[in-house]
Structure 1
Amino acid sequence: MEKDKPDNIPADQPANKKPSAENPYQLLGLKLTKVEKWAAGVPAVMAAMKDLLEEKTFFRGNKALLHMNQFEGFDCSSCAWPDPDDERSPIGEYCENGAKALAEEATTKKVTAAFFKANAVYDLAKLDDYKIGKMGRLTEPMYLPKGGTHYQPISWDDAFKKIAAHLNQLASPDEAAFYTSGRTSNEASFVYQLFAKVYGTNNMPDCSNMCHETSGSALRPTIGIGKGTVKLEDFYLSEIIIIIGQNPGTNAPRMMSALEKAKKNGAKIIAINPLPEAGLMGFHNPQEISGIIGNGVKLADLYLPVKINGDMALLKAIELLLFEFEKTSRGQVFNWPFIAEKTTGYDAFIKQFEQYDLDELARQAGVAKADIYEAAQMMASKQRIIVCWGMGLTQQHNGVDMIKEILNLLLLKGSIGSPGAGVCPVRGHSNVQGNRTMLIDEKPTDEQLDRLQQFFGFNPPRKHGYDVVRAIKAMQEQRLKVLFCMGGNFLSATPDTTYTAEAMRKLALTVYVSTKLNRSHLVHGQESIILPTLSRSDIDMINGVHQFVSTENSMGVVEKSKGILKPVSEHLINEMQIVCRMAMATLGPKSVINWQRYHDSYDAVRDDIEKCIPGFDKYNERVLQKGGFYLPNAARDGIFKTEEFGDRAPFTLTTVPDNTLGPDEYLMATTRTHDQFNTTIYGLDDRYRGIKNERRVIFMNADDIEKAGFKAGDKVDLFNYDDGIERIAPLFIIVSYQIPKRNTVTYFPETNVLVSINNVVKESNMPASKYVKIQIKKHDPAIYNRINQL
């Protein structure tokens, strides 16, 4: 039987009158362990099994793991790394964090109406995110009335009536926003965006606005598509793989299997990152004897410890050296036929290098000139080059320019649109790319809207809607009244926590479609509704038929996903039915869309997707193929179609940023622990970085620690002063680490409070969470009084 009262609710924080938007300001007892130089192996297997035991789902969970990412199984709800097209491991086609995500889906622990009756929202908010997330699966719809202290049960019909009443009394549809996380299926995403447009708004902020919006903003105007251009098999053909601003050991562990195979085929790997992450250095494959009892495989042939935001200087330094090599070996370094036939703007691009000095670029990058020279030499005679990146680039204030600079490098080499070469933005959540393909986008194109109008016969709104940052500002200014969240943990994923929490509390209604409890349920609008839904691994029955959904991975493969586990509650319904019932309640019988048809059949949804979105011909037929099907990708085939440059990819002129800091300032980047996926906290350790039982740590360079008069283990408070506003993250422990001087790293969401709502990436408007200027001061217990006055 599930527990109704969680253990160890901590004492209230001083003068805290509202449910806390932050994790408790308390330390758990940090233990430092060895910093690892390789990832995965037996420890990863043991950690995965441990989570299944903790969730009381060892046998049920292991049964599901054997079906996860298999041809006839279900898609992992964690990262979007692609499954192999050919053979898949019968032992386990998943990683440690995928197993942890499955454990929390397959758990037998439940959060019922009795649990909410026993626990006030205020009390639950005193718990940290780890404890909140470990309560179990939500089992029935819950409602928090205006002024209420406890969520209470509500029927599905009454929940939809309340949502419809709020939506229908708004002065304009643009007073509502519909957020999407990356786990929502293609089918549910299509129906969701269709409802929003029929309702009358393009306010569709989504998780892309916080992770890879920058990638799309850079790629679309240069190569004509906002996605990567490589397939998994390209890794096996590549000569050089550059991993920049991305940590595969934690963020996409199955990527290491592809890197291992690439290494065996002769590829060289260059790792570029401020931290020497274990997953960049070595890999012990737990499915091979050599990975269990042997030495595994060394991954990075060259590691470049770039400063935070020193990537642009580093890229230009490499290009400068390649240009020098080309001048002495004409035609041996640059791909002149490719440049002449496929690109534009080369002359203006190459002229800029007259003004650059290698020594100065190396200083700004924070990388030894000899190491940069070695990187350029490795690339000089090679053409099959893949560049992978993650949020270490996309969340920099100049992230769009840095990705365009990556494209400049690849265009010089002709390393895009051919086997073994191209760009690979490593997506985070499992269907974040599919969501965008299904038109979850606050800026839909006229072409996309025209197709919807022609097929369905309604006039979709043309005005661009709010992305995440603009939506938060609109809440704060009370231009938004209703926020509907299809999955995710909006509060903990977003920047400027104090500002965002205040904004969310101004909403008339918040609605969350969720599988588990999270902090966003506790920092809510005047009224709040929680709608529990099926997970990816659950059996989804409609009218007696076992249904499947589909998703799109990082490399554009659309594949079916069919759950196998009995749902933990008979009261759960799937996301698509939630949208359809909301639509029927809100729009009534006059709607031009037959929502009941969609409600009753995923096949019907796929039939209409086929008519409205290019690349989905014979959707219901092709999705049944073993391994699914690839969507069209012209850039992958070497065809570049851009609005401004036609069939040529442009070289882009960018600048090296000035990262000058004040005498008491440091640059901070937020990151996740290895026991974490996005905002979901699986545990309190960061095994590869040697952190055990603590999250409130700040990684600092040893010389910086000494120069500031601190020592490792000291307690400190962190401050940000962007926009003339004091932001405080109190009570962190200094950990000495191999990191460039004046750079620091902390975990999110604990330091999201320091990321100003106005600290965004140019062009993409994403939070620049990897570029935050902070000050570090000795911990003052009186700091909490200042925080409560903010």
Structure 2
Amino acid sequence: MTSPLNDPRHSATEQDKDTPYDHGPAGGWGSLKGVSRIFAEEKSSPVAVKVLAGLNKPKGVMCSSCAWAKPKDAGPVEFCENGAKATLWELDSHRAGPKFFAGHTVSDLRDWHDHDLEKAGRLTHPLRYDAGSDRYVPVSWDTAFEEIGASLNALDDPKSAVFYASGHAGLEASYLYALYARAMGHQNLPQSSNMCHETTSVNLKNVIGTPVGTCTLEDFDHCDAIFFFGQNTGTNSPRFLHVLKKAVKRGCKVVTFNPLRERGLIEFTDPQNPVQMTVGKPTQISDKYYQVRPGGDIAVLTGLIKCVLDAEAADPGKVIDHDFVREHTHGYDDTIAAVQGYTWEQIEKQSGLTRAMIQEAADIYISAKNVIGIYGMGLTQHVNGWLNLGMYVNLLLMRGNIGRLGAGISPVRGHSNVQGQRTVGIGEKSAHMPADKLKELFGIDAPTENGMNAVHACEGIIDGKVKAMVSLGGNLLRALPDRERMEALWPKLDVTVHIATKPNRSHLFPGKVSYILPCLGRTDKDMQNGVPQAISMEDTFSHIYGSIGQAEPPSEQLLSETAIVARMAKATLPANPHLRWDDWTANYDLIRDLISQTFPDDFADFNDRLHEPGGFYRGNPARDRHWKTDSGKAEFTAPTTLSALGQEPDGDKVMTLVTLRSNDQFNTTIYGFSDRLRGLKGTRMVVLINRDEMERLGLEEGQSVTLRCAVEDGNYRAVTGLKVTGYDLPAGCVAGYYPELNPLVPLGYHEKNSQTPAYKGTPVEIVI
């Protein structure tokens, strides 16, 4: 590579004052203004105040915005800016009913922005696509279910159907959905995790025997240091900031490695603290903040491990926990030999950081007794994401920082129930929902061969093997890589079914038979036979919570996600006295009893513990140092490269693309056009690049350019009309917004073991 890797004019530790950034802390008045804007725009009713007052509290509504924990001792306010936006967005006073769809063809709606599509309001009636008029038209529920069942049964092979799920649906609907697929004869159950944290699910399972993080909320009261890699707390999980503030105040050190300087990990003002909001000073979060090159985390972790080894050599027996390594781990010697084979020159070049910077961070790690390792999609969405996680676990294992109070590995999940859905069976492997249990409980001979994840499903659409796509929530077509290729192929599907609360872009590429089935939202009252029903979800710390909707539904026509799944299943599957779809729809307690029977180790006495303050913990074997790996021990991972990138930029003009979510966004939902925490607003069609790289490439501020994918696989991929915007980034990379830049990421450019798209490390070229 000939482009500069670490321009000496660019600091990896100090803010570039001449490019946009937010001058204030995360939280504070900016957060309150953001909530107020959405509150005004949505014309929120008094019920919104009621819902927000009980948000994330026992027998209230559990927030749909993220998977952060709900504390046992709830305060007066238990929601953040993101949670308020998501809640008010769902409590929308606008309606997208039959009149709306009669006034717009599907082709016309394709020209609408994502924000405007959802802004049309809540869906009110079941709809069927009419190709003759190019419109969605009303249909009765009975007709919809009858025709969907008939269309699915008309498929030559049940394995040609795919059942996708976003992270929104509760555990009850998710369990029935997973059961429905397997009773039909397939395990094609991709999930939103496939686009973000599937790297975690697959690779943590390989190295420590569990597919989820090992920490709980309690650990943050006992940790001495917290290391962050590739996680933007201020935008993706703002309630975490309160926990960080508390930890910092008692002396915990925070060290951050991230290509962008994100305000939430720099400083925070608590909007619930009147003193700090008025006369107090913001809380500094990170003691050290290093802007690592995209894909350079493996190099950083290699350097940190080398520093630990040097400290051990200088003070034998005082740094590395040899007893833990000997008793609980496997592969240590081979890993250390591989680490020692890399030079500091190689590490500095790949990371974009100096040895002195990495040594500073290592000194904090070595001096801390208990360390928590936090990470987000900055580690998972890479071709070598498996090695990112393996190296991170290596660092923690060396000092026994997994399996004790105040320490552990902790991915921060985005969607509120994305982890829980996998726990109750949504996944493409038999291990996700044991076939023997399904035989015992329902007399079903479930398939045992693995099904399709999201990438495999898209490959199946390309080669014609996939004929039907059912989506339980979400906006899958917008979230996928290679979006333009996918949009062109989607209408060739025989069947598409969308269970949704609002219109979105995925609805605008209907298959030959296509339905939109409107469902209750998390905030809506779910009444079955006059009895209010609770649903449940799992947080990022493996705790389970009950949620009860508080608002009147926007239409009497709406059904719950649970009821829709059950009625679709009943219309599709042959009669089976053990599949009591009507009974389960009438009483969700019965579904939770089934979950307890299917997964007794995780969900014993489920109904009795449903509304336990702080949620009930389903346990984690690695937290107890019980390693469910092939060796029976935690696995060290020997580095085979210093780069997480699948393809290093080649040539002066090729850069590494990092995709971002804004402060005014949740996944594919766009609340507005203000990325307040980055000092950006007005448009999402931008390409961010540092000023030195702009000069090197002959670019000017505000210039309109095209980004072209530099992966050569016979397909041309480009996004035009992007505004060049100077920004504080490492050399050799550019950044822009997800999902607008998804068309640049090839379907086949993904993490090696999990097929998670490499949204944080795709090579691109700027075309003038």
After TM superposition, the score normalised by the length of structure 2 is: 0.95
Deviations 1:604-640 (A, max 9, x none): 1011111101321111112133333100211112221
Distance 1:544 1:636, change over 3 A: same
Map of 2:219 onto structure 1: 234
Map of 1:78 onto structure 2: 65
Distance in 2 (CA, whole Å) between partners of 1:628 and 1:497 is 38
Matches within 5 A, 1:340-359: 340-359=326-345
Map of 1:700 onto structure 2: 689
1:37 deviates by: 5.1
2:240 paired with 1:255: yes
1:648 deviates by: 4.3
Map of 1:711 onto structure 2: 700
Distance in 2 (CA, whole Å) between partners of 1:126 and 1:659 is 35
Give the letter for the 2:607 counterpart: N
Give the letter for the 1:100 counterpart: K
Deviations 1:384-415 (A, max 9, x none): 11011111111011011110110000000100
Deviations 1:94-132 (A, max 9, x none): 111111111111111111101100111111111111111
Map of 2:53 onto structure 1: 66
Distance in 1 (CA, whole Å) between partners of 2:339 and 2:181 is 48
2:606 paired with 1:616: no
Map of 2:654 onto structure 1: 665
Map of 1:14 onto structure 2: none
**CA contact under 8 A between 1:163 and 1:582: conserved in structure 2?**
yes
Secondary structure of the structure 2 residue equivalent to 1:198: helix
**CA contact under 8 A between 1:64 and 1:565: conserved in structure 2?**
yes
Deviations 1:183-236 (A, max 9, x none): 110011001100100011001111111111101111111111101100111112
2:428 paired with 1:442: yes
Map of 2:746 onto structure 1: 756
Give the letter for the 2:251 counterpart: G
Secondary structure of the structure 2 residue equivalent to 1:615: helix
Map of 2:399 onto structure 1: 413
Give the letter for the 2:68 counterpart: W
Deviation larger for 715-724 or 223-232: 715-724
Aligned to 2:83, which of 98, 106, 120? 98
Aligned to 1:277, which of 262, 269, 273? 262
Aligned to 1:639, which of 606, 618, 626? 626
Give the letter for the 1:450 counterpart: D
Distance in 2 (CA, whole Å) between partners of 1:559 and 1:145 is 41
**CA contact under 8 A between 2:385 and 2:751: conserved in structure 1?**
yes
Distance in 2 (CA, whole Å) between partners of 1:748 and 1:512 is 22
Map of 1:743 onto structure 2: 733
Map of 1:510 onto structure 2: 496
Distance in 2 (CA, whole Å) between partners of 1:705 and 1:490 is 34
**CA contact under 8 A between 1:384 and 1:415: conserved in structure 2?**
yes
Aligned to 1:682, which of 650, 661, 671? 671
1:471 deviates by: 0.5
Distance in 2 (CA, whole Å) between partners of 1:446 and 1:160 is 27
Give the letter for the 1:169 counterpart: A
Distance in 2 (CA, whole Å) between partners of 1:144 and 1:325 is 66
Secondary structure of the structure 2 residue equivalent to 1:531: strand
The runs of at least 4 aligned residues of structure 1 exceeding 4 Å deviation read: none
Distance in 2 (CA, whole Å) between partners of 1:252 and 1:167 is 39
**CA contact under 8 A between 2:220 and 2:247: conserved in structure 1?**
yes
**CA contact under 8 A between 2:58 and 2:611: conserved in structure 1?**
no
**CA contact under 8 A between 2:164 and 2:472: conserved in structure 1?**
yes
Distance in 1 (CA, whole Å) between partners of 2:523 and 2:660 is 28
Q: Which has the higher contact order (CA 8 A, sep 6+)?
A: 2
**CA contact under 8 A between 2:424 and 2:432: conserved in structure 1?**
no
Distance in 2 (CA, whole Å) between partners of 1:207 and 1:196 is 17
**CA contact under 8 A between 1:640 and 1:649: conserved in structure 2?**
no
**CA contact under 8 A between 2:425 and 2:432: conserved in structure 1?**
no
Aligned to 1:175, which of 151, 160, 176? 160
1:58 deviates by: 4.7
2:719 paired with 1:733: no
Unaligned runs of 5+ in 2: 1-18
Matches within 5 A, 1:161-200: 161-200=146-185
Deviations 1:313-348 (A, max 9, x none): 010011111111110111221111111111111111
Deviations 1:278-330 (A, max 9, x none): 11101111011243122120001001110000100010011111111110111
Deviation larger for 182-191 or 343-352: 343-352
Matches within 5 A, 1:449-528: 449-528=435-514
Distance in 2 (CA, whole Å) between partners of 1:206 and 1:530 is 19
Aligned residue pairs total 744
Give the letter for the 1:768 counterpart: A
Deviation larger for 520-529 or 109-118: 520-529
Unaligned runs of 5+ in 1: 1-31, 779-790
1:557 deviates by: 0.5
Map of 2:709 onto structure 1: 720
Distance in 2 (CA, whole Å) between partners of 1:368 and 1:348 is 26
Give the letter for the 1:675 counterpart: D
**CA contact under 8 A between 1:405 and 1:654: conserved in structure 2?**
no
Distance in 1 (CA, whole Å) between partners of 2:528 and 2:752 is 45
Distance in 1 (CA, whole Å) between partners of 2:596 and 2:99 is 44
Distance in 1 (CA, whole Å) between partners of 2:731 and 2:21 is 22
Map of 1:773 onto structure 2: 763
2:318 paired with 1:335: no
Deviations 1:34-89 (A, max 9, x none): 5335211121112112101101115332221111111120100110011112x212
Deviations 1:449-506 (A, max 9, x none): 2222222211101111111011011112221111000000011110001111122121
Distance in 1 (CA, whole Å) between partners of 2:129 and 2:255 is 52
Distance in 2 (CA, whole Å) between partners of 1:340 and 1:271 is 30
**CA contact under 8 A between 2:545 and 2:615: conserved in structure 1?**
yes
| Identical pairs, percent | 39
**CA contact under 8 A between 2:125 and 2:518: conserved in structure 1?**
yes
1:524 deviates by: 2.1
Matches within 5 A, 1:589-604: 589-590=575-576, 592-604=578-590
Distance in 1 (CA, whole Å) between partners of 2:634 and 2:663 is 41
Deviations 1:129-171 (A, max 9, x none): 1111111110110110344411100010111011111111111
Map of 2:277 onto structure 1: 292
Map of 1:134 onto structure 2: 119
Secondary structure of the structure 2 residue equivalent to 1:589: coil
Distance 1:648 1:759, change over 3 A: closer
**CA contact under 8 A between 2:654 and 2:710: conserved in structure 1?**
no
Map of 2:562 onto structure 1: 576
Give the letter for the 2:571 counterpart: A
Distance in 2 (CA, whole Å) between partners of 1:485 and 1:258 is 35
Aligned to 1:212, which of 172, 197, 219? 197
Secondary structure of the structure 1 residue equivalent to 2:674: coil
1:536 deviates by: 0.7
Map of 1:401 onto structure 2: 387
**CA contact under 8 A between 1:669 and 1:772: conserved in structure 2?**
yes
